[in-house]
Amino acid sequence: MTEQNAAAAGDFAIGGDLPVHRLGFGAMRLTGPGVWGDPEDPDEAVRVLRRTVELGVNFIDTADSYGPFVSEQLIRKALHPYPEHLVIATKGGFTRAGPGDWRPLGRPEYLRQQTELSLRHLGVERIDLYQLHRIDPTVPLAEQLGELAALRDEGKIRHIGLSEVSVADLERSREITDIVSVQNRYNLVDRGSEDVLEYAERENLAFIPWFPVATGELARPGGPLDEAARRHGATPAQLALAWLLRRSPVMLPIPGTSKVAHLEENVAAAGIDLKDDEFAALTTAASGE
């Protein structure tokens, strides 16, 4: 079994001044079904968060809409006062009416309200990384980002990031204000945001892939991912995370879970050293999916 410490993934400095280990933790799954309400086992959720930090993870990603607010409140309960160098990122820009219901809302007054609530729920005076969860097409982009920039100028946000955007969105946004990160769906078998990742590499922006451990048919018995996992004494999901870490130095995967055992398995992926031929084989095989 590989080493269980996120430090083995290497480091990246978000915004140039927030160094984190490149294997983080996504806190969405610490809520109830449909990302709504409390988790089935709140005590286990607290154990997961505390074990996350013990395993060297110093980048936790959440959002006001996870619960709503359940995830943020659990993070505070489990970890406050926060360990030194722990970076907590959150997001705003969705409103929730029930399980599985997600509606973009980017009015400036709403973004300000949600930022203030996140500050309170997390128990911090400044949010290290605040991400616009979705661009609201009904509100001018300059108004949405302008409000976040104002909150940054007031000292309530340190850095601004975006989620589920195109290269064109990134370019337009960076004309309005500084952007340090992008969070798009990306994994071994779903690389629809390849152009966004390449842009992030060129501009040294953090790329935070959500849904990072999808493996598809590559994990079938005897398949290329299954065979590579066997050679490493690992699981296909661990190899999928190792592939992401190898893919780009700006990549910050944030696999999430509600179980300590699964958390430990995910973090162990940081210690897997994919050889050049293994990385190439998996890249090629996934391209044919």
Q: Is the pLDDT of residue 14 over 60?
A: yes
> Which pTM value belongs to this model?
0.96
- Beta strands 11-14 and 18-21 are antiparallel
Whole-number mean pLDDT of the chain? 96
Say which of 66, 130, 186, 199 is annotated catalytic.
66
CATH architecture group of domain 6-212+248-257: Alpha-Beta Barrel (3.20)
d(CA 39, CA 19): 30
| Rg of the Cα atoms in the chain | 18
Q: What is the reported pLDDT for 217?
A: 84
d(CA 93, CA 239): 33
pLDDT tens readout for residues 114-149: 999 999 999 999 999 999 999 999 999 999 999 999
User: What one-character-per-residue DSSP string does 83-106 give?
Assistant: PTT-EEEEEE-EE-SSTT--EE--
d(CA 182, CA 170): 8
Is residue 186 annotated as part of the catalytic site, yes or no? no
Residue 70 CB neighbour total at 10 angstroms: 23
Q: pLDDT band for position 224 (50/70/90)?
A: confident
pLDDT tens readout for residues 42-77: 999 999 999 999 999 999 999 999 999 999 999 999
Let me know: does 75 contact 63? Beta carbons within 8 Å. no
